[in-house]
Amino acid sequence: MIEVGPNSYGKSAIRLVKVDRDQAPHRVRDLTIAIALAGDFATSYSEGDNSAVIATDTMKNTAYALAGEHLTGSIEGYGLVLGRHFLAAGREVDLVKVSIDAHAWRPIDSAPDAFTRDASETRKADVSVSRDGFLVEAGIADLVVMKTTRSAFAGFPRDRFTTLPETDDRIMATKVTASWGYARDAELDFDAVFDRVRSTFLGAFADHDSASVQHSIWVIARAILEAHPEVDDVTMSLPNLHHWTVDLSPYGIANDREIYVATKEPHGLIEATIRRADIGSVERPGTS
């Protein structure tokens, strides 16, 4: 017997820009949105029956249509509005997943209407709405951070293919992808909580002594969980952007951890989820 397995469909890469000119400087909201629906859509695959299929073009139009009234606060709140709308739109829909990336524009000096795009960091939100409630996950991507000291890597296994020397003081640099999940059905001031968690992240990164990137993930995530009871789990993906000390000895020049060559590839990639032991495994939202 052949049957349709798990499936979903939706609209990705919806580009939406909203400009609020009622404040100075103006506020620019620049979003990339993905919407996905899951539910009883098996016959649309097996029989070509589109009677329950909400057009993906309708999803795009809905995102624009609801932005004027509802994109006034956090991207998480706007994602919940979209999720609840599509959950109510069809009885076949069991789950709506909304993913939003917010791209930052910064005012130029004191000009009320001139901006520069800040690509150094992207704020992210993933919202999952079902008939049993909702889950919200916030996060950041593309945030590049560096520690120029207090970072080590030693005590690792060695064999005949190991050439990496042990070190108790190296540069550690990474391009952060991090997300944190809130408790189910948590109604929060998502903007305020995001700012607080981000501040804790950066403070913990700056203040700790790192034995490895793995150790850094543990220290930073633990600091977030201890400081923010509304957060249930923290997930990080940290590429180790290596900085190798340049050998200047052929030129008769000493180099005591001053001159480095920065590399992007190949790089180490360290990933982990740190969570409260009493909540168990929570299936977090996402549209991928």
List CB contacts of 115: < 8 A, sequence separation 6 or more. 25, 28, 105, 106, 107, 108
CA proximity to 209, closest of 272, 144, 146, 149: 149
* DSSP annotation of 153: B
- Is residue 228 part of the annotated active site? The answer reads no
Annotated catalytic residue, options 11, 85, 97, 208: 11
DSSP state of 41: -
Long-range contacts of 194-197 (CB under 8 A, 24+ apart): 194/74, 194/123, 194/138, 196/227, 196/228, 197/138, 197/224, 197/228, 197/231
Considering the candidates 18, 26, 43, 56, report the single residue annotated as catalytic.
56
Q: From CA 59, how far away is CA 240, in angstroms rounded? A: 38
Cis? peptide before 25, omega within 30° of 0 = yes
The beta-strand segments (E) located in the chain are 9-20, 27-39, 93-107, 115-130, 133-147, 172-182, 231-240, 243-245, 260-262, 268-275
- Count the Cβ atoms, other than its own, within 10 Å of residue 247: 11
11 included as an active-site residue: yes
Among candidate residues 60, 85, 103, 242, the one labeled active-site is 242
Exposed, middle or buried: residue 92 (CB in 10 Å: 0-12, 13-18, 19+)?
middle
Residue 172: helix, strand or coil by DSSP? strand
Distance of CA 221 to the CA centre of its chain: 14
Q: Catalytic site residue 242? A: yes
Kindly list the catalytic residues.
11, 56, 242
